[in-house]
A and B are shown apart, each in its own frame.
Chain A
Amino acid sequence: MPRYFFNLRYGAGLGKLAVDPEGDELADLDAARQHALQCARELVAGSRSFAVRDWFACSFEVEDANARRVLTVPFSDIVPEDDDED
């Protein structure tokens, strides 16, 4: 299974990216997206951080094992929008 790295973007600029050093093995890109959403849900629900004023302004920048960006998952995607279903 491919390994995906879930880098957490919590503000603009290089310093505001929490780079995932370990990654997770997931079946495919869709599984990676679901994983990112689950992580986002748990962070929003259970974590306060001095570095994050608003979790919903954050996103996961997902990279593959070659450090290529393959997906961006905004935390706001955990809340379904009525007319924005994909």
Chain B
Amino acid sequence: MAHIQQSAVRNRLLKVMIGEDFARLQSHLEPVDLLVDQTLIEANIRTEYLYFLESGLGSITADGTNGRVEIGIIGREGVVGASHVLLGSDRVPYRHFVQMAGHALSIRAGIVSAAVDESPTLRKLLLRYVLTEMIQVRQTAIVNATFEIEVRLARWLLMCHDRAEGDELLLKHEFLSMMLGVRRSGVTLAMQQLEGAGRIRARRGRITVLDRELLEEMANGSYGTPEAEYARLIEGA
């Protein structure tokens, strides 16, 4: 099979990699389809593959006694599974699964580990990416502790919108409830407030972003810091 060309990839990390580093991974990248609910990384089991997302949305979740809570999302700016593997662990206590369907380039974890051992530039890029994941998670902790559910919902919708193909987000309330760590009726309530203000339109399982600027206004500064850090650290903005 022909190798993936760097000029054709959509993943933002693969795009900005220097050609030499891309070449280290190139022949090992395998295109795969991502189906809704598909598990990419099992909790507490050795991670065999990492996934550079080309489209779609991956979700990191923790199962607790009070149900499942989402603790991070990854789209085409990232690599599912990179953080623990690059920091020296072959497993992680969180399940990673597909929330919105899409495509990815999968690669064996061992290949990536070996490549970062050989290349300081690749190591630096991918560790900076890991830092941006940490920043996102920390931001979520801040936001969940201090903001109203409407603000939290606005932030998550913006984050999903950043990673989606258009203005339509296929997200069930059940998932939003997990994302925000709030009961489904809390999500419905918040959705109604955003909808009433003309920011979104919500139909069963389908949310349309009508006015992104208004949504950012509602997010009230809770959105944007991790995104700006990503641009600064990864893309040199």
Query: A-side interface residues toward B, CB under 8 Å?
Result: 6-8, 10, 15, 18-22, 39, 42-43, 46-52, 60
A48 to B188: give the CA distance in the assembly, Å: 14
Asked whether B150 lies within 8 Å of A49 as measured between CB atoms, the reply is yes
Which of B6-14, B91-99, B179-187, B208-216 forms contacts with chain A? Answer: B179-187
The 7 A-B pairs with the shortest beta carbon distances in the complex, nearest first, are: A18-B188, A18-B189, A8-B185, A39-B183, A48-B148, A47-B186, A21-B204
Asked whether A43 lies within 8 Å of B184 as measured between CB atoms, the reply is no
A15 to B193: give the CA distance in the assembly, Å: 10
B145-204 contacts to A (CB < 8 Å): 147-150, 172-174, 181-186, 188-193, 196, 204
Asked whether B189 lies within 8 Å of A49 as measured between CB atoms, the reply is yes
Kindly list chain A residues whose C-beta atoms are within 8 Å of the C-beta of B191: 18
Asked whether A21 lies within 8 Å of B188 as measured between CB atoms, the reply is yes
Kindly list chain A residues whose C-beta atoms are within 8 Å of the C-beta of B182: 42-43, 46-47
Asked whether A6 lies within 8 Å of B150 as measured between CB atoms, the reply is no
A83 to B189: give the CA distance in the assembly, Å: 33
Q: What are 15 sample pairs from A and B whose C-beta atoms fall under 8 A apart?
A: A8-B189, A10-B189, A15-B196, A18-B189, A18-B192, A20-B188, A22-B184, A42-B183, A43-B182, A46-B181, A48-B148, A50-B150, A50-B193, A51-B150, A51-B189
A18 to B188: give the CA distance in the assembly, Å: 6
Asked whether A21 lies within 8 Å of B186 as measured between CB atoms, the reply is no
Task: State the total of A-B contacts with C-beta under 8 angstroms.
Answer: 61
Asked whether B148 lies within 8 Å of A50 as measured between CB atoms, the reply is yes
A49/B183 contact (C-beta < 8 A), A15-B196, A21-B204, A22-B172 known: no
Which residue on chain A has the smallest CB distance to residue B67? A42
Kindly list chain B residues whose C-beta atoms are within 8 Å of the C-beta of A48: 147-149
Asked whether B173 lies within 8 Å of A22 as measured between CB atoms, the reply is yes
Asked whether B185 lies within 8 Å of A20 as measured between CB atoms, the reply is yes
A43 to B186: give the CA distance in the assembly, Å: 7
Main secondary structure of the interface of A (DSSP, over half): mixed
Asked whether B189 lies within 8 Å of A52 as measured between CB atoms, the reply is yes
Which residue on chain A has the smallest CB distance to residue B202? A21
Kindly list chain B residues whose C-beta atoms are within 8 Å of the C-beta of A18: 185, 188-189, 191-192
Asked whether A6 lies within 8 Å of B185 as measured between CB atoms, the reply is yes
Having A46-B182, A51-B193, one finds 20 other A-B pairs with CB under 8 Å, namely: A6-B185, A8-B185, A15-B196, A20-B185, A21-B188, A22-B172, A22-B174, A22-B184, A22-B204, A39-B183, A39-B185, A42-B182, A43-B182, A43-B183, A46-B181, A47-B186, A50-B148, A50-B150, A51-B189, A52-B189
Kindly list chain A residues whose C-beta atoms are within 8 Å of the C-beta of B185: 6-8, 18, 20, 39, 43, 60
